[in-house]
Structure 1
Amino acid sequence: MTADNNTTVPNPPVALPRPTARSHHGDTVEDRYEWLRAKDDAEVISHLEAENAYTQKRTEHLDGLRGTIFEEIKSRTLETDLSVPTRRGQWWYYGRTVEGSQYGIQCRAPLASADDWTPPELSPDTVIDGEQILLDGNKEAEGHDFFSLGSFEVSNDGTLMLFGVDLAGDERYTVQVRNLVTGEQLPDQIAGTSAGAGFSPDGRFIVYSTVDDAWRPDTVLLHELGTPVEHDVTLFHEPDERYWVGAGFTRSDRYLVIGLGSSITSEEWLIDADDLRSQPRVVWPRREGVEYESEHAVIDGEDVLYILHNEDALDFELVRVSAADPAGARTGVITHKPGQRLLGISTFRDWGVVGYRRDGLARMGLLNYETNAVDELEFDEPLYAVGGGGNPEWAPPILRLGYGSFVTPGTVYDLDIASRRLHLRKRQPVLGGYDPEDYAQARVWAPAADGTQIPLSLVWKRSFGEAGSEPRPLHLYGYGSYEHSIDPGFSIARLSELDRGVIFAVAHVRGGGEMGRQWYEDGKLLAKRNTFTDFVGCARHLIDQRYTSADRLVAEGGSAGGLLMGAIANLAPELFAGVLADVPFVDALTTILDPTLPLTVIEWDEWGDPLHNSDVYEYMKSYSPYENVRPGVHYPRILAVTSLNDTRVMYVEPAKWVARLREVGADAMLKCEMVAGHGGVSGRYNAWQERAFELAWLLDVLGVADR
């Protein structure tokens, strides 16, 4: 065998077939590589290490390019920087990054005065009066190969801090508490929590969640500071394996909200924040297929709940109810409008903020409590992403926004509510003379197999010519599951592609949420194939319209988007030069058949239940990538990237897939991070190295590695 630079290298590792039988609904399948699931088996670890060694050898000719891309990312990034301060209580809270350090540093500085709502313009290289370093991730990570912060919160009075740390990548966090006045580490330590622990408004308690053996958050507990963890009180436990559980306090600090959700059903329970040991009371009892979320407000002295729901309203509507009697009379606020998907409601003392999606773009509007009118915020770019962020206060005169696009770096605005003026607080620095006018973005539409028009978002560098004027190297990204939308966002790493003449495109396929709830419904369960054929339709359109050619097109997707990658490699291998699959869900049927695996039962609402339904079994078997690798097919070059400690998509899926692909002669490689989770490696420099590795491979496949 020869490497990509024609240097002879050893043959790839061979996973010896050890067939095991799997029988369901009268169908017996012989799985030759299921033995790779034995994570604690030394032979399995040895095989993964051999795969890494092989991938390194196959790509060693790209070492120089990897180093160049890493330096490009690094040189464009302001490594010593600060976030825009967010006001909470008597402090401005912000984060620092320091050149040479992997992790962020959490800081705060005191307000100048009680009526100070203009964040200070901090300089990363100057001493800030009264600054306190709350948590230095670099110090906490010392001696560990992996570090992830899953919870971080300061009590309302500013005297206590909690933080939850994962040192393995398995998304189980140990919560610790620190006294910010004395610097003392309190004895309170809670192991095995999920992300999102927080203080009660009075700072006496910690509310946190734990997970079951399937990694499902199923229990909400109350810990009183200074007492043994064994005495913690269970506030809520959900036995139904289809539901996850979480909890958090309303912005008003009036209630603790315990939220339960499956893919299609939700339920909320309220506990008065001043009596956390009291019995929770349900907002609306769960009904199969009905989703809702509530936010507390005070209208004319009465506690009310604004509830966003989809009962007889596919794209959701907003109503208002009494908090004392949520199941009682409803007052309509925003009526259902097909095609305008209401996404969320945030309430403040004097006004609300509504998020929604129309024509494939996220939008925001201010809600007037008296008139129910929504004042939509307007932006000039044809493609953009916008959302609220950093708004912990109950009665602010401003609203903090995050904004960006393919060409506009991440931007922080404060919207003055009284004047409706946007104040630019910060735009992500991009060093090296970046000019957004050098790049262009556009939305085009591609026909799917059934004639549905699929939106495509594109960005390219103008100096290489107009997109579509001639075939160019093109990087096509897709996801298409869980109603998750891929919005146009800026990426410093992506500039390394665009500056080499590559067009970057996102296929907004069905199964995502870009075009409303029906868009999601038409790409899940027994309509899942639409996700795959939509992506293929987008690829064909880009080729037919001369944006690219099959030998200059690489597809990428991760997690459920990795399932998409495996499916399109089987469906239309002739359209792609390469496929990059990050933590790919490519052995979907095997996973969804096993209710003992992490999160499987919860996933039945998304994919169907093949264990108990023969139609679902046959349908999933017809598209699951591992099941459908075919001999005699010329597959595109494939790189699968995974992590040993991933609890969401286990490493065994891409490991089995790559072994099966090699059986039929495909050029497939596996890269397995041995100390990481679903999100990959920890630390920003490590993440840049990882992305540089992937981009170098991608550019090599596209034939522009020498640019």
Structure 2
Amino acid sequence: MKLSRDGSSIAYTVDPGDGSERLQVHVQRIGSAGLGTRLPQLEGSVSIEWSHDGSHLYCTRADGLGRPSRVERVDVSAPEHARPECICEEPDAAFWLDIGKTKDWRYLVVSSNAKRSSEVRVLDWEAGEGPGSLRLVHPRSPGLEYFVEHADGYFYMLSNAQREDGQYSLFRIPAESSSPSPPPERWECVVPAGTQGLVLEDFDAFRRCLAVFARDAATGLPLLALLKLERATGAPPQLVPVPLPAWATALDPGANADFEAASLRVTLSSPGRVPVAADVDLDAGALRTLSGESPSAAVGTLRTHGRSSDGTLVPLTISHAGPFPPAGGAPAWVEVYGAYGRCLPCDWAPERAALLQAGWVLAGAHVRGGGELGRAWHAAGRGVHGLQARVDDLAACIDALVERGYTSYDRIVLSAHSAGGVVAAGLVQRDPGAVGALVLEAPFLDVLTVQCRPDLALTVHEYEEWGDPHSTAGFLQARRGGVQTACPYQGLRGGAFPPTLITASSTDTRVPVWGPLKWAARARAMNQGPAPILVAPDLHAGHAAHESQRLELAALLQAFAMRALGLA
């Protein structure tokens, strides 16, 4: 949902709930009834943004494979008759377009992002530049990522420039359009990677300062700091840490749409604590919670590590309503993801809270490929060799849980969604007795076949994540068994598999339904034990269950898990 600059109108997208992810766009005057005016000519938009004067709506439109490849705008003064006007188009199938604005409403921002490189163009609204005046900030370059905001006459950029390890630093360059942007080696670095033990993740701009969102370089826990811009003195920007509660394993920023705001709204939570809203004073740097202590504060959460086979310490989050470790061990629900540089959520969720109340241990294995320790952590889990590292990391976390008395192997339910299925199924492929049950939601399991199909929605965009079998190196790796061994379907071998439940949907636009079905069929044929391998199909779920069905699905998965462990 986007609010116009004058606050008179909103534009928002509606998910039709059929799993297609083909969003509908509506525009509505504040205070009017109903769903507002639907813009059928913008159906299938991926992102939307208002123009500075509220006369037009910009959007990114998807091509036939669902890739946001065009930026268009439409006149909303007469939306029923307006025809979209194309502003720019991205021909490279590896790049996806995104549309936004700087928070001060000075610039429209068009970003073109691949997995390991990016390119940004801006349109200066205050200078009266028209839609054909997009200005390139810096041309795309292999391996260079940068993301732009504007404040105080500068473009502030989160980027991996000037770093061989790929970690993000915070840079700035003058925003004037009269001269070309300097090359990355001349960008002014205002917060180098690793400053105060921070792994930079994101930032937000205000007139008073920048809010810097980061993670602890050792534990991967969330951190927050304010970058004081020091306009009056002209001194270098100063980074001031904001103390967070020790129990907070998740920090989610609010909308924070007001550039002139004096405070930053965040939400803090953990697997055992319901979300608590808090405001951060942007001048003093003090955090003030707006609600009381969570009633589930008796649940303890611990961030520790497992030691992988190469000696790497892998962050491991453990939650339990009772003593650490539980006397005699307990059933454990272990989650894993490890892909695309995304962090495994460590926030509060009602479906997970039900397990805690029933005496279960909850654990999150933050394996390589995720973003908990920054871009270097992601890079270490990428590609063919990274697939094996992710599985090693997961095995180390499970071993740590068992060796420290939290649970036993036969009482562990291993759960994964989407790309996390590569890691979870990879562990069971290697060691079928490593867990007591396996739960996979819309899992990505046939990596090699998908990466050989550029006609599928995400394949070309994700070559840099999983490998490109069409390249010479990728083809040789596949022939030599690299991808085949790491791919859960291609590398599946016989064994006594644990009880397994898989969800899949024919409307899933991200993971083709035939991948999970093929894996289930082959696993059944190769299963040397009595445990069932079940598939729960849903024709309309798409890649993830709709919000209205999420708890119902969680109940199904947990009922299966309890039955598989002999608890029901």
Q: TM-score higher than 0.5 here? A: yes
Matching of residue 522 in structure 1 with residue 384 in structure 2: no
Deviation, 1:453, is 1.7
Unmatched segments (≥5 aa) in structure 2: 231-235
Describe how 1:304-383 pairs up with structure 2 within 5 A.
304-313=154-163, 314-324=166-176, 325=179, 327-328=181-182, 330-337=187-194, 340-358=198-216, 359=218, 360-370=220-230, 371-381=236-246
Secondary structure of the corresponding residue to residue 433 of structure 2: helix
Give the Å deviation of 1:494: 1.6
Deviations 1:398-421 (A, max 9, x none): 111121122221111112223433
Map Cα deviations across residues 152-172 of structure 1 (whole Å, 9 max, x no partner).
233223333323223222111
Question: Could you tell me how far 1:240 is from its partner in structure 2?
Answer: 0.5
Q: Is the 8 A contact 1:412 1:427 kept in 2?
A: no
Query: Aligned match of 1:508 in 356, 366, 369?
Result: 366
- Asked whether the equivalents of residues 115 and 461 of structure 2 are also in contact (C-alpha less than 8 Å), the reply is yes
Q: Secondary structure at the match of 2:455?
A: coil
- Of 394, 398, 408, 1:539 maps to 398
**Corresponding residue for 1:110?**
none
Deviations 1:443-485 (Å, cap 9, x if unpaired)? 22212111212121100011xx431653321111111111111
Deviation at 1:224, TM superposition (A): 1.3
Match of 1:595? Answer: 454
How much identity, in percent, do the aligned residues show?
28
Q: Equivalent of 2:253, from 388, 407, 426?
A: 388
Amino acid at match of 1:254: R
Structure 1 unaligned spans of 5+: 1-151
For 1:589, what is the secondary structure of its paired residue? helix
Task: Give the equivalent residue in structure 2 for 1:236.
Answer: 88
The separation in 2 between residues aligned to 1:388 and 1:699, in whole angstroms, is 35
Q: CA deviation at 1:392?
A: 0.3
Equivalent residue letter for 2:109: V
User: Are the structure 2 counterparts of residues 372 and 395 from structure 1 closer, same or farther at C-alpha, using a change threshold of 3 Å?
Assistant: same
Q: Does 1:245 align with 2:104?
A: no
Shift of 1:330: 3.1
Report whether the alignment pairs 1:160 with 2:9. Answer: yes
Contact kept? 2:41, 2:84, Cα under 8 Å: no
CA deviation map 1:588-636 (0-9, x unaligned):
11111100001110010101101232234231111211112223x1001
- SS of 1:420's equivalent in the other structure is coil
Contact 2:503 2:537 in 1 (8 A): yes
Deviations along 1:237-270, one digit per CA (max 9) or x if unpaired, are 1110101101011110000000111111011000
Structure 2 distance, partners of 1:478, 1:162, is 35
Q: Aligned equivalents of 1:346 and 1:206: distance in 2?
A: 23
> Quick one: structure 1 residues 516 and 669, their matched pair in 2 at CA, closer, same or farther if it must change by over 3 Å?
same
Candidates 124, 142, 146, aligned match of 1:288: 142
**Residues 41 and 83 of structure 2 are in contact (CA less than 8 Å); yes or no, is this contact kept in structure 1?**
no
5 Å-filtered alignment, 1:427-442, equals: 434-437=295-298, 439-442=299-302
For 2:292 and 2:49, how far apart are their aligned partners in 1?
30
In structure 2, the CA distance between the partners of 1:375 and 1:678, relative to structure 1 (3 Å rule), is: same
Correspondence for 2:470 among 594, 600, 611: 611
Using the alignment, how far apart are the partners of 2:83 and 2:441 within structure 1?
A: 42
Q: Which residue of 2 aligns with 1:197?
A: 48
Q: Quick check: 1:275 aligned with 2:129?
A: yes
- Cα separation, partners in 2 of 1:331 and 1:627, compared to 1, 3 Å: closer
Q: Is the 2:74–2:82 contact (alpha carbons within 8 Å) kept by the matching residues of 1? A: no
Assess if the C-alpha contact under 8 Å between 1:364 and 1:387 holds in 2: no
The separation in 2 between residues aligned to 1:154 and 1:321, in whole angstroms, is: 29
Shift of 1:642: 2.0
2:514 corresponds to: 652
2:502–2:535 Cα contact (<8 Å) kept: yes
Match of 2:74, SS? strand
The aligned amino acid for 2:7 is G
AA aligned opposite 1:425: L
* Pairwise CA distance, 1:186: 4.2
- How far off its partner does 1:690 sit? 1.1
Cα deviation, residue 187, structure 1:
7.0
User: Are the aligned partners of 2:506 and 2:538 in contact in 1 as well (CA < 8 Å)?
Assistant: yes
For residues 260-304 of structure 1, give each alpha carbon's deviation from its aligned partner in whole angstroms, at most 9, with x where no partner exists: 111110110001234342321111111100001111012xxxx21
TM-score (normalizing by structure 1): 0.73
Give the distance between the partners of 1:525 and 1:574, measured in 2 at CA. 26
User: 1:440 & 1:186 partners in 2: Cα distance?
Assistant: 48
Residue 254 and residue 574 in structure 1: after superposition, are their counterparts in 2 closer, same or farther (change >3 A)? same
The residue that corresponds to 1:211 in the other structure is: 62
Structure 2 distance, partners of 1:227, 1:499, is 51
Q: 1:277 to 1:701 in 2, by over 3 A?
A: same
Does 1:451 pair with 2:311?
A: yes
Per the normalisation by structure 2, the TM-score is 0.90
Q: Could you tell which deviates more after superposition, 326-335 or 472-481?
A: 326-335
Deviation of 1:341 after TM superposition, in Å, equals 2.1
Separation in 2 of the partners of 1:294 and 1:334?
Answer: 15
Partner residue, 1:129: none
Instruction: Give the aligned CA root-mean-square deviation in angstroms.
Output: 2.1
Q: 8 Å contact 1:468–1:547 — kept in the other structure?
A: yes
Separation of aligned partners in 2, 1:682 and 1:635? 32
Letter in 2 for 1:355: F
Superposition deviation, residue 487 in structure 1: 4.2
Q: Report what 2:271 is aligned to.
A: 406
Cα deviation for residue 229 of structure 1 reads 6.7
Q: 1:179 aligns with which of 1, 5, 29?
A: 29
1:384 is displaced (CA, Å) by 1.7
Larger radius of gyration: 1
Are the equivalent residues in 1 in contact too, given 2:103–2:257 (CA < 8 A)?
yes
SS of alignment partner, residue 138 of structure 2: coil
Tell me the residue number matched to 2:233. none
Structure 1 letter corresponding to 2:27: V
How far is the alpha carbon of 1:188 from its aligned partner? 4.2
C-alpha distance in 2, partners of 1:479/1:182? 43
Greater relative contact order structure (CA < 8 Å, 6+ sep): 1
Residue type of the alignment partner of 1:386: L
Distance in 1 (alpha carbons) for counterparts of 2:81 and 2:142: 35
Is the 2:273–2:296 contact (alpha carbons within 8 Å) kept by the matching residues of 1?
no
Note the 1:99-110 alignment, pairs <5 A: none
Letter matched to residue 330 of structure 1: W
Q: 1:416 aligns with which of 263, 281, 302?
A: 281
Q: Assess, with a 3 A threshold, how the Cα gap between structure 1 residues 178 and 659 changes in structure 2: closer, same or farther.
A: same
Partner of 1:581: 440
Partner of 1:5: none
CA contact (8 A) 1:353 1:367 kept: yes
For residue 496 of structure 2, what is the amino acid of its counterpart?
H
Deviations 1:527-579 (A, max 9, x none): 22100111112212322332211211110110000121221110111111101
Distance in 2, matches of 1:332 and 1:598, equals: 37
Question: Residue 224 of structure 1: which of 65, 68, 75 is its match?
Answer: 75
3-state SS, counterpart of residue 660 of structure 1 = helix
Code of the aligned partner of 1:164: T
Runs of 4+, deviation exceeding 6 Å: none
Contact 1:442/1:457 (8 A) holds in 2: yes
Counterpart-to-counterpart distance in 2, 1:272 and 1:281:
8
Quote how far apart the aligned CAs of 1:180 are: 3.7
Is the Cα–Cα contact under 8 Å of residues 188 and 229 in structure 1 kept in the other structure? no
Q: Following the alignment from structure 2 to structure 1, what is the Cα–Cα distance between the partners of residues 532 and 149?
A: 52
